[in-house]
Structure 1
Amino acid sequence: MRSTVAGVLGLDVSLLQSGMGGVAGAELACAVSNAGAAGCAGGYKLVDAALSAMLERVAKGTDRPVGVNLIPEVVGPQELDRQVGQVLDETPPHVHVSLFGMPSDAVCERVTAAGRKLVIQVGTVEDGVRAAGLGAVVVAQGIEAGGHLLGESQRDELVAALRERLPDACLVASGGIGSPEEAGRALAAGADGVLLGTAFVVARESRAHSRFKAAVTAAGGSDTVITDVYEIGWPGRRHRVLSTSATRDPGQPKKFIGRTVVEGRPYLVPRFSSAVPTDATSGRIEEMAMYCGLSCDAISAELSAADVVAEFARVLPGAEVVDSGKREK
C-alpha cells in the first residue's frame, strides 16, 4: 500500500508546482499552496540575506505545505549546505525542501532528521531508487519537460520503470503535462501525482516577463527545442526552451543583452545566460532563455494559480491510499 503525494505532504490535491528560479517567487508558491496543492519557491543561487528575504515571504504567505527548491549542481556542496541550513532554521515545519537533482546522502539525512518533508526530482531510474531510499517523494522528470533535463527518458516510460522497482514509493510525474487528460495518462503509468512547470509560468502570480508568458501561450510543442546554448550560470545540462535567435545561431557573441534585478540587486544579462526573463528584466527578452515544455500545446491563456489547481483537481487524487492499483479513500 502507498500514499498519494497529497497524503504524504498533507495537500488537498496531488499536484506540485515546479520551483522555477526567477519565475517561482513567494507569491506564486503561496498562491498554489493556498489553493490546496504544493507551491514551491525557487531558491536557485540565493543565499544569506537574499534567501532570508524570500523565505520570510514564503513563511508569511501561507500556513499550508509549501516548498523551497534548491539545485545542488549549480551551487556546490558548501553553498547548498548553507541554503539547506537557512531553510531549516528560518522557516516553520510546513515548509519542505525540494531538490532538483541528487545531492549527497548527508543533505537528505539532514532534512529528514529535522522532521521536514523532502522532494527530489530525478531523470533516471538509478537516481529515483536512491532518492526513495533516502525518504524522498520522487519526481520523475521526462524529456517532455521545459527547463533543464535530468535524463533522457520519456515521462511515462520513466514512471513505469520506477514503479516496477519501487512499488510502495510515492512517485510524481513531470514533463509535458498541460491538461487534466495528460495528467490522467501520467497516473495510469503509475504516478501518485503530477508536477507542473510550464502551466504555472503563465499564471498571473508568476514572475515571468509578460513577453515570456505571451510566447508560451502562443507556442506549440514544435516551437520548443532541446539545446545546451543557455549555459552561462548553469553549464553542462541540456534544457528545453522556446526556439529563439540564440538557439538558431549559437555562434553569436556572448555580449550583454539586458538587465535584471534579483532581491534588490541589479545584474547584467549576457546572451546565453541561463537566467529567465522576469518582470524585473529589460532588454532583448526575445533572445533570452524561455524554458517551455511540450505542455504548451494545451496552454493558451493566463490563469490564476488557483484556477490552474482547480482545473487539475478534478482528475488528481487527494489524500488517498493506493492498493493493488486501486485508489480508495
Structure 2
Amino acid sequence: MRASAAGVLGLETSLLQSGMGGVAGTELACAVSNAGAAGCAGGYKLVGGALSAMLERLTEGTDRSVGVNLIPEVVGPVELRRQVAQVLHETPERVHLSFFGMPEEAVFDQVAAAGRRTVVQVGTVEDGVHAAARGAVVVAQGVEAGGHLLGTSRRDDLVGALRALVPDACVVASGGIGSPEEARRALAAGADGVLLGTAFVVAHESRAHPRFKSAVIGAEESDTVITDVYEIGWPGRRHRVLATAVTADPHQPAKFIGRTEVEGKPYLVPRFSAAVPTEATSGRIEEMALYCGHSCGAIADQVPAADVVAAYARVLPGAEVVSSRERAQSYAG
C-alpha cells in the first residue's frame, strides 16, 4: 500500500505543476491549486522583499495546497537556506517546498522540523533513492522534459527503476506528458502522479510571452533540441528548448537582445541568457530560451489552467490509498 501524490500533498488529483521560473507566477500556481492539483510558484533567485511580495500573493490567491519551487544549484547553499527560512516563516503549513535538484541535508532537516512536505525533482536513480529516504515526494524527470535536465534517462525507465528500489515512495513522473493517454503510460510504469510543465506554459494564467506560447503550440517534438547554449545565469546544465537561431549558431556575440522585468525591477537580457521571455519581456523573443518538452506535439491551444487539470483528473488517482494491484487494474482499464 502506498499513497498517491494527491494523498500525500492533500490534493483532489495527483497532478503537479512545474514551478517554472518566470513562467509560473502566482496567477498560474493559484489557478492550478484552486482546480484541485498542486500549483507551484517559481521562487528562482527571489529573496527578501521580492520573495515576500510573491508569497503574499500566493497565500492570498488560494487556500489550498500549493508549492514554492527553489533551485539549489542556482542560488547556492547559503542563499537557499535563507529562501527556505523565509518561505517557512511567511507561509502557512499548506505551502510545501519544491526543489529542482537535490538540496543539502541541512535543508531537508530545516523543512522537516517545520512539519512541511518536500517535493524534490531528480534525474538519477541515486538522487531519487536519497530523496525518498528523506520522505520527499520524488519527481522523476526524463530527458523528454522541457527546460533544464537533471539526468540522461527516459522518464518511464527512471520511474520503473525507482519503483523497484523504493516501492513505498511517492514517485511522480515528469517529461513528455502532453495528453491524458501519456499520463496513463507514466502511471503504468509505476508513477503515483504526474508533473506537467510545457502544458502549463500555454495556459491563460502563464506569464510566458505570447510569442513563446504560440511557438509551443505550433511545435512538434522534432522541433526541440537538447543544448547548453542558454547558460548565462545557469551554467553547466543541459536544457531542452525549441530550436532557434541561437541554438543553430552558438558562436554569435553575447550582446543584449532584450529587456525584462522581475518583481518590478528592470533587467537587460543578453543573448544566451537562461531567462525565459515573459509577458514583461521585449526584444528578440524568437532568440531567447524557449523551454519546451516533447509534449508540445500534443498541445494545440491556449486554455485556462483549470481545463488542463480537468482533462488529466479523469485518469489520475485522487487522494485515496490503493494497493499496487488495484492501481495496475485501474491503469490497464
TM-score by length of 1: 0.99
Q: Structure 2 matches for 1:293-308, cutoff 5 A? A: 293-308=293-308
What's 2:158 paired with? 158
What's 2:235 paired with? 235
Q: Offset at 1:268?
A: 0.1
How many residues in Structure 1 have an aligned counterpart in Structure 2? 329
2:18 and 2:325 map into 1 onto residues whose CA distance is 26
2:322 and 2:276 map into 1 onto residues whose CA distance is 38
1:230 and 1:322 map into 2 onto residues whose CA distance is 43
Q: Offset at 1:312?
A: 0.4
SS in 2 for 1:173: strand
1:69 equivalent in alignment to 2:64? no
What's 1:189 paired with? 189
What's 1:25 paired with? 25
Per-residue CA deviation, residues 123-154 of structure 1 (Å, 9 max, x unaligned), is 00000000011110000000000000000000
Per-residue CA deviation, residues 84-137 of structure 1 (Å, 9 max, x unaligned), is 011000011110000000011110111011011100000000000000111100
What's 1:53 paired with? 53
2:326 and 2:51 map into 1 onto residues whose CA distance is 42
What's 1:117 paired with? 117
Q: Offset at 1:322?
A: 3.1
What's 1:257 paired with? 257
SS in 1 for 2:43: strand
2:153 and 2:241 map into 1 onto residues whose CA distance is 17
What's 1:322 paired with? 322
1:322 and 1:159 map into 2 onto residues whose CA distance is 19
Matched-pair identity in %: 78
1:145 and 1:246 map into 2 onto residues whose CA distance is 20
Q: Which amino acid aligns with 2:258?
A: G
What are the ranges of 5 or more consecutive residues in structure 1 without an aligned counterpart?
A: none
Q: Structure 2 matches for 1:279-290, cutoff 5 A? A: 279-290=279-290
1:271 equivalent in alignment to 2:271? yes
1:152 and 1:100 map into 2 onto residues whose CA distance is 16
1:275 and 1:39 map into 2 onto residues whose CA distance is 21
1:248 and 1:182 map into 2 onto residues whose CA distance is 30
Q: Which amino acid aligns with 1:133?
A: A
1:323 and 1:313 map into 2 onto residues whose CA distance is 19
1:45 and 1:178 map into 2 onto residues whose CA distance is 28
TM-score by length of 2: 0.98
Q: Offset at 1:325?
A: 3.1
Q: Which amino acid aligns with 1:176?
A: G
What are the ranges of 5 or more consecutive residues in structure 2 without an aligned counterpart?
A: none
SS in 2 for 1:44: coil
1:324 and 1:135 map into 2 onto residues whose CA distance is 19
What's 2:43 paired with? 43
Q: Which amino acid aligns with 2:188?
A: A
1:320 and 1:4 map into 2 onto residues whose CA distance is 7
